[in-house]
Structure 1
Amino acid sequence: MVYLTRQEHFNAAHRLYNPAWDDAKNEAVFGKCANPNWHGHNYDLLVTVKAKPNYETGFVFDVKKLSTIIREHVTEKLDHKNLNEDVDFMQGKMCSTENLAIEIWKQLEPHIPAGIHLHCIKLYETPRIYVEYFGE
């Protein structure tokens, strides 16, 4: 099995805020991330697929096609958007990086061709903070 990773980038704003809590509790739990005026990140997204290399091409998957799938189904929906308000697949969810990685998986998985398996979503919120999601 060979693992192939494509890196993409997007910028987005969000707010960590639980509407069931008052402002004081939200600030205590989420700190500056509960700012009612939002805050943003320069996200780096790494999508890893796995398969045996194709005998004729030597490729696990055409990386240009993988990039197109990621852009069409994820980054175009997220880039320069407010995750809480503008992104359909994040509606009604806490906009944490953890939840965003899970939802990105759900957006990509149906578009990965048969014989290729989505292995990991690695999402950097900052250069020092990232999450990895390997599916259910």
Structure 2
Amino acid sequence: MSTIRITKQFNFETGHALYGYDGKCKNVHGHSYKLSVTVSGKPIADNTNVKFGMVIDFGDLKKIVNEEIVDVFDHATVFNKNTPHVELAKELMDRGHDVLLVDYQPTSEMMVIDFAKKIKKRLPKKIKLHSIKLQETDTSFAEWFASEN
């Protein structure tokens, strides 16, 4: 049976700031992220299986990505936990805001690395994460490919 790639797309809103950066992104701001997750595998050949003909049910992939990424990052503000932004983060958390403290600079590049690790852990054994594309703006995005990692 042929190996097939399938892609599911997601949208979420997230704020962040890049500590130490020399441009506008040093300020707290947000993006309407578009996330595309592509997995590969062989369609299920067992015609008695309710998922017959599917690589993975889009609903199952959606559940994984929503639980690991979208539900966590949507309408949250992300800061590197090793920067002075932790003071601002604490203030925001004290006021009831969703804040994520991560161990990396929250750039699109680093976020796709984080997302790839989280998604790969949850995929069924026969399904491989092929790629992730995280679009920060209409003209800017980062991509992660399994073949390069």
TM-score, length-scaled by structure 1: 0.85
**Mapped partners of 1:68, 1:116: distance in 2:** 15
Amino acid at match of 2:5: Y
1:62 offset after TM fit, Å? Answer: 0.4
Structure 1 gap ranges (5+): 19-25
1:79 offset after TM fit, Å? Answer: 0.2
Name the structure 2 match of 1:8: 10
Higher RCO (CA 8 Å, separation ≥ 6 residues): 1
1:102 offset after TM fit, Å? Answer: 0.4
1:107 offset after TM fit, Å? Answer: 1.1
Selected match of 2:100 from 81, 87, 93:
87
Partner SS for 2:109: helix
Structure 2 gap ranges (5+): 80-88, 90-98
Amino acid at match of 1:87: L
Name the structure 1 match of 2:94: none
Partner SS for 2:65: helix
How many aligned residue pairs are there?
Answer: 122
Name the structure 2 match of 1:116: 127
**Mapped partners of 1:100, 1:133: distance in 2:** 10
Name the structure 2 match of 1:71: 66
Name the structure 1 match of 2:25: 33
Partner SS for 1:83: strand
Larger Rg: 2
1:73 offset after TM fit, Å? Answer: 1.0
Name the structure 2 match of 1:23: none
